[in-house]
Amino acid sequence: MNARASDDRGDGTTLAVVSAATALVLVVFTVPLTTLTSTARALAAGPGAQAWILSAMSVGAAIGLLASGAIGDDYGRRRTFVAGAALLAVASVGAALSLSPLMLILCRIVQGIGGAALLSCGLGIIGQAYFGHALTRASGIWAAALGAGVAAGPVLAAGLDGLAGWTAPHWFTGLAAGALALAGRFFLAESAAARPRKVDLAGTILLGTGLAALLGGLTQSRSGWDQPLVYAMLFGGMALLAAFVVVESRIAEPMLDIGLFRRPAFTGATIGALASGAGVLSLMSLIPTLLERAMGVSTIATAFVLIAWSGTTAITAYAVRWLPASSETLLVGGLVGCAIGQVAVFGVAADSSVLRLLPGMILAGAANGVLNASLGRQAVASVPTDRSAMGSGANNTARYVGSATGITICAVLITHAGAKGGVAGLLEGWNHAVLLSAAFSLLGALGIVCCRTSATPCQIEETERLEA
């Protein structure tokens, strides 16, 4: 099969199906943000189990993103996309039928693996169907779908929870994922690399177990750092990931070509994704904690407040195609803008109004929209055309790892301070988390600038050619 899809079967249909799938994955991801209380009550889930319910899908996504992207490139992006949608549907039904916290956590991990296939292969399909400025437009719409999913998910979940209980959002997402599996099968064109590689079994196992151990350790740490299990998982995960790098650098057909990191565009996009997750995504994910525990805002009102950030992200991502700057300039500008927006939510007091947060959330949302659209385009443009899904998988893996790391660190700052000093302590912890997350964003921007300045003239010329 050609590296590019042999027919587009209607670019509008391709983009619609992929964007709908992207939005659905983010809806599924955000369901626990507004249903955790009712879910924990129904399943008798304690604080540790609640942390896992919130983070389990991130663990599954991190495990599956790079592997599903590589499999899609070699054995069919549509085939892998459809399989991911079917897996997401089954896992969502399983979540709705869960009778214990453990069953729900396992289903959430499987949801993450299925969602990973949709994200990596969906963006890979876009990378095969669009070129040049059309790719910029399509990437912007894809990024807008990310924001739309984050905006709609908490509100939809809270509404369905109120109407029919905590299982209702899972039934809904299961039906939607099943419909997307059918849509992908009948409306997406198949594409794959002209010369498929062998499955990198060693790399897949090392990366999957390494990320699972690392993210599992970060999640478990929220129940306390005095547990030997936390350190065993963290150090074990790092050792497995180090082994993954060694293996990938030595085999002929790796799942992730380590040599790609010699490309400034690829390295810059990866740094940008990592900083996005550790910075603005981690801080905005903890806005509900601030609103509900320190400011007394209801769950449904919190869901609507989040739209100030996520809705702005969706709108700005769609508009990025009209900006004339290069992708790297937009990445740097997006991260700096996010940092400014993050700092703007510093200094919240117990008697502050929700309006105090809105300017910073809107600014961070606008900058995040620029960032998402640029990352989506750079993820597929910075790799060989027959590796587009792998490029998407690597980029999104960096984002999820950054997010898991940032959320854990910021949550520890907030909750530990809150445990010692009540609301005042929680607000002090929030301010520390704001500054730390903003620093992550600025460090990401600096890293991208360093990649650009260290590039050779040939590498700069290649980047400009990819953006043409």
pLDDT tens, position by position, 223-252? 778 889 999 999 999 999 999 999 999 888
Do the beta carbons of residue 248 and residue 258 sit within 8 Å?
A: yes
Percent of the chain's residues with pLDDT above 90 = 47
pLDDT tops 50 at residue 445 = yes
pLDDT of residue 313: 92
pLDDT of residue 466: 53
pLDDT of residue 2: 44
- What gap in Å lies between CA 69 and CA 422, rounded to an integer? 45
pLDDT tops 70 at residue 454 = no
- In Å, what is the CA distance from 162 to each residue of 107, 158, 301? 22, 6, 13
- Cβ partners under 8 Å of residue 85, min gap 6: 21, 114, 117, 118, 177, 178, 180, 181, 184
pLDDT tops 60 at residue 6 = no
Do the beta carbons of residue 468 and residue 132 sit within 8 Å?
A: yes
Comparing CA positions, the residue from 173, 143, 131, 93 lying closest to residue 11 is 131
pTM of the model: 0.84
- What gap in Å lies between CA 462 and CA 353, rounded to an integer? 50
Please identify, in words, the CATH class of the domain defined by 11-200+253-467: mainly alpha
pLDDT tops 90 at residue 257 = no
Task: Tell me the pLDDT band of 455, cut-offs 50, 70 and 90.
Answer: low
Do the beta carbons of residue 455 and residue 463 sit within 8 Å?
A: yes
Task: Tell me the pLDDT band of 393, cut-offs 50, 70 and 90.
Answer: confident
Please give the average per-residue pLDDT across 327-344, as a whole number.
93
Task: Tell me the pLDDT band of 418, cut-offs 50, 70 and 90.
Answer: low
Comparing CA positions, the residue from 65, 24, 3 lying closest to residue 400 is 65
pLDDT tens, position by position, 7-19? 444 468 999 999 9
- Cβ partners under 8 Å of residue 11, min gap 6: 129, 130, 134, 138
pLDDT tops 70 at residue 460 = no
Give the mean pLDDT of the chain.
87
Which of 6 and 430 is assigned the larger pLDDT?
430
Please give the average per-residue pLDDT across 21-38, as a whole number.
92
Residue 169 sits at the vertex; the CA angle it makes with 100 and 31, to the nearest 5 degrees, is 80
Per domain, the residue ranges of the chain are: 11-200+253-467, 201-252
